[in-house]
A and B are shown apart, each in its own frame.
Chain A
């Protein structure tokens, strides 16, 4: 997995609440057996018309935001299905961090498995960051995972919370499965005990 340490980039404002995983990557693009190549279809139905032409008003189609690396989004971002295609599409497009007041649980976990940092901040902070993101390409936001801060283009700093284990894995770009396999002895002994206690499982 790619490491996430510190990012300075363009943030795109997407104030809509309840942006669901069907919006992030419509199901027609789930019929792939690969993880890559989904960026072109990120937000497909909001981003393109039926003929495949870009809808100019859509934020990521605007010249200032085409190279965005951060999204500042409305509440409950990533709700809906468990499809990991949503973070795959964000990642493939180039989004490395998403900021919102809350995220759906499965999407939140999926982000960390793909080197994307989801950041939860209170409404007042997200409001300030949304305004900062609206300034466009000349305004670079800074996300520092080690320090757990987001800094606006004006230098205003917001601290965020993140689970220490998830932070560690993201900073180091660690492979979860490899880490768990180091604990194989614990799994073995649990399995032996559980199958004695609950042999019907």
Chain B
């Protein structure tokens, strides 16, 4: 048998039909659904008299536009349009009989945090959701990617997607990370190296010692931003850490089924002589704590660097960099660590897990945020929130001057009331620094949770290594 990559193996195990031109129907094992990209899909089913083919493989949770403040179970405490979307999800979940975690359920949270937490996400699966950050689930060695609403409707109706296979890219991070460098710095540094279109047409497998050393939480952070590099999906081969994380979760297999599953999961790795269409290698020791200076996730530099000159770029990027620097209100040559901030956001499907909160709390312990700083922690799920409270992290955040919120996507995309005002500047653990992403004319610098905590204390972008 010819050698295969991990992607090849998962793909081959899910092709339900292949046409002569290579167009495939890929069977979908898990379909995650949220309130913003699904209403039109369910409406489409109704209009055509179709139904949900596999409701037991379909999981719904409201996350994008729910408020993160108390009393949100009452629609009167939501904006009218948000309440309509949440009510539509509620109705659709019940009418079509799919699994559902409303905001009143402690298991509610960001869909990409809930899936792994509940054991819905398992190695070797195909996972889709009408959200680009579905790539997160790739950390389990699951082929996971975002889809549009028409495709949501297609999966609801047929449990398949029409797909052509992507190319294989290997991203290897060799050796050890230095102190103060995290999974977020890895994933941002990879995008800095490849550009936001560098992964277009590929599925990336992340590998190497630095990736193996990461916890499951860290691996989810890395895969989460595969989409920011343009890739269809990011993958990490499952190993003992993966199995340990999955074991005992509510929807993970048990008993004899666990043993059978484990036997298959252990075959899910790229063969030594598998073919790669593209290979990128970074040395772990070369990666520094990074920040973004512009309005694209590829605008990444080590915190010790300065705002670049637009002329240092090539082609269309010169104009884009000029526009970014102007939008961000920065000056070429300015030290990144001199950039003053007024807002800190810790949360999102990129960095809203327990380990992220631990990393931030470690820096904040016994310290206060800079006077006038608006600082917010939005745990990724109700269960992450409860665990953080139990571990005493919530107290550290609150004593430092952070707001301690309820779970949701929140200021990552600012569809709920958590938004930046015009010209406000945020150190954010989220995934996108696009113009207006966190609020109209708001300015976003993407950082790791530890770097966000450091900036909250000093009031400017800060090298966290100085505080360790």
Q: Point out residues on A near B: beta carbons under 8 Å.
A: 15-18, 20, 22-23, 26-28, 30-35, 45, 50, 74-76, 79-84, 87, 102-106, 109-110, 113-114, 123, 163-165, 176-177, 180-181, 183-184, 186-187, 190-191, 194, 198-201
Q: Are A23 and B148 in contact (CB under 8 A)?
A: no
Q: Point out residues on B near A: beta carbons under 8 Å.
A: 13-17, 19, 21, 23, 25, 27, 29, 36-37, 39-40, 43, 48, 50, 57, 64-65, 79, 81-82, 84-85, 88, 122, 124-125, 130-132, 145-151, 153-154, 157-160, 162, 164, 195-197, 200-201, 227, 230-232, 252-253, 257-258, 260-261, 264, 296, 298, 315-317, 319-320, 323, 413-415, 432, 434-437, 440
List chain B residues, Cβ under 8 A from A110.
148, 150-151
Query: B22 to chain A: closest CB distance in Å?
Result: 9
Tell whether A190 pairs with B27 under 8 Å between CB atoms, given A84-B148, A180-B162: yes
User: What CA separation (Å) do A176 and B16 show in the bound complex?
Assistant: 16
User: What CA separation (Å) do A49 and B253 show in the bound complex?
Assistant: 54
User: What CA separation (Å) do A142 and B132 show in the bound complex?
Assistant: 33
Which one of B14, B124, B320 has the greatest number of beta carbons of chain A within 10 Å?
B320
User: What CA separation (Å) do A180 and B161 show in the bound complex?
Assistant: 9
Which one of A30, A75, A81 has the greatest number of beta carbons of chain B within 10 Å?
A81
List chain B residues, Cβ under 8 A from A109.
147-148, 151
User: What CA separation (Å) do A83 and B261 show in the bound complex?
Assistant: 34
Q: Are B435 and A23 in contact (CB under 8 A)?
A: yes
Q: Are B19 and A165 in contact (CB under 8 A)?
A: yes
User: What CA separation (Å) do A75 and B220 show in the bound complex?
Assistant: 28
Q: Are B84 and A33 in contact (CB under 8 A)?
A: yes
**B164: nearest residue on chain A (CB-CB)?**
A163
Can you name 7 A-B residue pairings with CB atoms under 8 Å? A15-B319, A31-B36, A33-B88, A76-B200, A82-B37, A102-B200, A187-B25
List chain A residues, Cβ under 8 A from B158.
177, 180-181, 184, 187
User: What CA separation (Å) do A104 and B297 show in the bound complex?
Assistant: 14
User: What CA separation (Å) do A151 and B390 show in the bound complex?
Assistant: 65
Query: B412 to chain A: closest CB distance in Å?
Result: 10
Query: A137 to chain B: closest CB distance in Å?
Result: 24
Q: Are A26 and B436 in contact (CB under 8 A)?
A: yes
List chain B residues, Cβ under 8 A from A83.
36-37, 148
Interface of B is mostly: loop
List chain A residues, Cβ under 8 A from B261.
198, 200
Q: Are B159 and A105 in contact (CB under 8 A)?
A: no
List chain B residues, Cβ under 8 A from A199.
257, 260
Query: A30 to chain B: closest CB distance in Å?
Result: 5
**B321: nearest residue on chain A (CB-CB)?**
A17
Query: A136 to chain B: closest CB distance in Å?
Result: 21
List chain A residues, Cβ under 8 A from B40.
33-35, 84
Q: Are A22 and B149 in contact (CB under 8 A)?
A: no
List chain A residues, Cβ under 8 A from B432.
20, 22, 80-81
Q: Are B320 and A18 in contact (CB under 8 A)?
A: yes
List chain B residues, Cβ under 8 A from A80.
132, 432, 434
Query: B326 to chain A: closest CB distance in Å?
Result: 13
Which one of B21, B147, B148, B264 has the greatest number of beta carbons of chain A within 10 Å?
B148
Tell whether A27 pairs with B200 under 8 Å between CB atoms, given A22-B432, A199-B257: no
Q: Are A17 and B435 in contact (CB under 8 A)?
A: no
Query: A55 to chain B: closest CB distance in Å?
Result: 14
User: What CA separation (Å) do A87 and B197 show in the bound complex?
Assistant: 19
Contact partner of A102 (CB less than 8 A), chosen from B15, B81, B197, B260, is: B197
User: What CA separation (Å) do A176 and B232 show in the bound complex?
Assistant: 20
List chain A residues, Cβ under 8 A from B88.
33
User: What CA separation (Å) do A83 and B65 show in the bound complex?
Assistant: 14
Tell whether A45 pairs with B440 under 8 Å between CB atoms, given A113-B151, A201-B122: yes
List chain B residues, Cβ under 8 A from A194.
13-14, 27
Q: Are B414 and A27 in contact (CB under 8 A)?
A: yes
Contact partner of B323 (CB less than 8 A), chosen from A16, A35, A184, is: A16
